[in-house]
């Protein structure tokens, strides 16, 4: 199942598939889940993981809002979607930097997912700026 194809099937999109948007939405969705899981794993770690839990939780919430907003196409608000991608990038940068401070598998995985999401959100923004 492809998110990009689902978006392209929307009546107001008229079949114009935007692969960059689809990848950014998919990665934001995955990142929301990975960050949520990392925050939970952080709570089981020894030591003070409060900042990591906060960064992961914030990133998860922002990624969720981003994928939900960006996948809606009815009367699409391009400026709002672009703002959400920018906010998602910022949240992922903060989360990745925090997770990279910790030597455990779940934080490494979370940081990698955040970095991938940043890259795809930036590509989607570039496409939207050219198109708009």
Q: What is the tens place of the pLDDT at every residue in 65-86?
A: 999 999 887 667 889 999 999 9
Per-residue pLDDT band for 57 (boundaries 50, 70, 90) equals very high
> H or E element: which one contains 11?
none
Considering the chain, what percentage of its residues have pLDDT values greater than 70? 83
pLDDT of res. 92: 98
Contacts of 115 (CB under 8 A, 6+ apart): 92, 96
Measured CA to CA, the distance from residue 112 to residue 77 in angstroms comes to 29
Q: What is the tens place of the pLDDT at every residue in 28-43?
A: 999 999 999 999 999 9
pTM equals 0.89
């Amino acid at each position: 199942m492809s998110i990009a194809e689902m978006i392209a099937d929307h009546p107001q999109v008229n079949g114009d598939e935007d692969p960059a948007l689809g990848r950014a939405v998919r990665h934001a969705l995955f990142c929301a889940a990975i960050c949520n899981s990392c925050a939970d794993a952080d709570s089981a770690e020894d030591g003070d993981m409060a900042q990591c839990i906060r960064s992961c939780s914030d990133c998860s919430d922002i990624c969720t809002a981003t994928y939900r907003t960006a996948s809606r196409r009815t009367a699409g608000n391009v400026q709002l979607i672009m703002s959400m991608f920018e906010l998602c990038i910022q949240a992922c940068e903060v989360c990745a930097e925090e997770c990279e401070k910790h030597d455990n598998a779940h934080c490494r995985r979370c940081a990698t997912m955040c970095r991938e999401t940043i890259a795809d959100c930036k590509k989607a923004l570039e496409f939207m700026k050219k198109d708009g």
